[in-house]
Amino acid sequence: MKDTLKFITWPALAGLFAALLFLDRYVLPPRHSEPLAPESVSYALAVRNASPAVVNIYTARLVPEQRRPRIEDLFSNRFNPPREQRQRIEQSLGSGVIMTEEGHILTNNHVISQVDAIQVLLHDGRLAKARVIGTDPATDLAVLKIDLPHLQPVELGNSEDTRVGDVVLAIGNPLGFGNSVTQGIVSALGRYGLQRNTYEDYIQTDAIIHLGNSGGALVDTQGRLLGINTLIYTAGDQGRAASPTGIGISLAIPVNLAVFVMQDLIDYGEVIRGWLGVSVEPVRRIDNGTPTGQALLVSAITEDSPAQKAGVRLGDVITHIDGEPIQDGRQTMHHIAMLRPGDNIDVTVQRETQSLDLHAVVGTLRQSPTI
Domains belonging to the chain, first-starting first, are 46-64+86-145 (2.40.10.10), 159-268 (2.40.10.10), 274-364 (2.30.42.10)
pLDDT at residue 124, as a whole number: 92
Q: Is 32 a catalytic residue?
A: no
Per annotation, catalytic residue among 92, 104, 140, 250: 140
How far, in Å, CA of 234 to CA of 120, rounded? 28
DSSP letter, residue 357: E
Residues 6 or more apart whose CB falls under 8 angstroms from that of 133 comprise 104, 143, 144, 145, 265, 266, 269
131-136/180-191 β-pairing: unpaired
pTM reported for the whole predicted model: 0.76
The pLDDT tens digits of the residues spanning 128-178 come to: 999 999 999 999 999 999 999 999 999 999 998 999 999 999 999 887 777
Q: What is the tally of helices (H) and strands (E) in the chain? A: 7, 21
DSSP letter, residue 139: T
How far, in Å, CA of 94 to CA of 144, rounded? 13
CB 301 within 8 A of CB 309: no
pLDDT category of residue 229 using cuts at 50, 70 and 90:
very high
Q: Measuring CA to CA, how many Å separate 38 from each of 45, 46, 319?
A: 19, 21, 52
Per annotation, catalytic residue among 110, 187, 210, 316: 110
Q: Is 334 a catalytic residue?
A: no
How far, in Å, CA of 157 to CA of 167, rounded? 13
Q: Is 140 a catalytic residue?
A: yes
How far, in Å, CA of 101 to CA of 175, rounded? 28
Of 231, 232, 228, give the one whose Cα is nearest residue 262: 228
**Dihedrals phi, psi of 43, to nearest 5 degrees:** -110, 25
Per annotation, catalytic residue among 51, 187, 214, 250: 214
The pLDDT tens digits of the residues spanning 188-211 come to: 998 876 665 667 889 999 998 888
The pLDDT tens digits of the residues spanning 71-93 come to: 555 555 555 655 566 777 777 88
Beta strands, E only, 195-343: 202-205, 217-219, 225-232, 250-254, 274-275, 278-287, 290-301, 317-321, 324-325
317-321/180-191 β-pairing: unpaired
**Dihedrals phi, psi of 74, to nearest 5 degrees:** -65, -35
The pLDDT tens digits of the residues spanning 287-332 come to: 666 666 788 899 999 999 999 999 999 999 998 898 888 877 777 8
pLDDT at residue 241, as a whole number: 46
How far, in Å, CA of 221 to CA of 277, rounded? 41
